[in-house]
Amino acid sequence: MAQRRILHDEYFKKAKAEGYLARSAYKLKEIQERHHLLRAGKSVVDLGCAPGSWLQVASQIVGPKGLVVGIDLQPVAQEIAPNVRTIEGDIFKTDPTALLPDPDAKFDIVLSDMAPNTSGHGDDALSVRLCRRVLELLPALLAPRGACVMKVLEGSGYSELLKDCQRLFSRAKGLKPKASRDASREIFIVAEGYKGTVSVPITPPPKPPPGWGRP
């Protein structure tokens, strides 16, 4: 238990010292160090972007010639950078074309650090549903050969979700960054080489999760 508290303190203090809005910035930074998905001049959409730490990391890497668009149920209180714009909205209701930088241009990378409002019961299934919503949005948002990074809670439905990602992309694998808490079941699916033409059957539950955000 003491070990987990030390880990939390390390990344929490580091985020404060380096000006990031949340410790989750270091999860994306590690994924970037391993996979180099983000590059200067690229366009990125962050689904579930509040409080804005992933926007900060993406903005720094894509630079002034790149673009980062974020959407969340909650507003992003802090202005990030000139190359970042945010929308307050629900990914289950918002028209995905409203996120596009241009009607004829799709994003190079789709990011999602979303998590359901956790209750301790069925959280993994709700998390998978959020990820399946991301997959539903890919044809409208992601350019062919693009990449996707999304968080999911390991448990019910994870294996099937990963297999579907492997059908949609040339490569897809799970990764748990060091900045994730030891007790957390979160894992990030990192997928590269979007095929764009492969359809994956989606079986939604009767209604979408009651809420989502970053716990």
Cβ-Cβ contacts under 8 Å for 62 (sequence gap 6 or more)? 38, 39, 40, 41, 42, 43, 44, 68, 83
* Torsion angle defined by CA atoms of residues 119, 121, 125 and 129, in that order, rounded to the nearest 10 degrees: -30
Single out the residue of 173, 178, 91 nearest to residue 137, CA to CA.
Answer: 91
Does residue 151 carry a catalytic annotation? yes
Whether residue 51 has a cis bond before it, omega within 30° of 0: yes
Give the separation between CA 83 and CA 32, rounded to whole angstroms.
19
Strand ranges (E), 42-91: 43-47, 67-72, 84-88
Catalytic residue from among 14, 29, 151, 173: 151
Looking at the annotation, which residues are catalytic? 151
